[in-house]
Amino acid sequence: MLFQVRMDVKIPSDLNQDVVDDLKAREKALAHQLQQSGKWRHLWRIAGQYANTSIFDVSGNEELHNLLLSLPLYPFMQIEVTPLCRHPSSIHQDDC
């Protein structure tokens, strides 16, 4: 199943910078791993914001939920999930 996920990150300004740097490094490593596995199919930054919109390709709601919970920055995210399905007029065969 495909899901569009918007993640807005709001890290408290008083959080220790070493902790922030560690969280960001672990987040990046996991994001790379999930992209290489094909589960995190697309990742785009939203210009001018500490936010992204992504496409996840997972087995269903529970897998997506567990994947999002595993993100190191999850405690500092506001997340919006939109399930997607193939449009009948799409000419692409890999968008299902």
Q: Does residue 61 belong to any structural domain of this protein?
A: yes
Q: Does residue 90 belong to any structural domain of this protein?
A: no
DSSP state letters, 24-76: HHHHHHHHHHHHHHTSEEEEEEPTTSSEEEEEEE-SSHHHHHHHHHHSTTGGG
Task: Tell me which residues of the chain have a pLDDT lower than 70.
Answer: 95-96
Note the pLDDT of residue 94. Answer: 72
Q: Is the pTM here over 0.85, yes or no?
A: yes
Q: Does residue 21 belong to any structural domain of this protein?
A: yes
Q: Does residue 95 belong to any structural domain of this protein?
A: no
Note the pLDDT of residue 13. Answer: 96
Q: Please state the domain count of the chain.
A: 1
Q: Does residue 59 belong to any structural domain of this protein?
A: yes
Q: Please state the φ and ψ torsions of residue 84, each to the nearest 5 degrees.
A: -120, 150
Note the pLDDT of residue 96. Answer: 64
Which residues constitute the domain of residue 16?
A: 2-84
CATH number for the domain spanning 27: value is 3.30.70.1060
Q: Does residue 9 belong to any structural domain of this protein?
A: yes
Which of these, 76, 65, 46, lies nearest to 3 by C-alpha position? 65
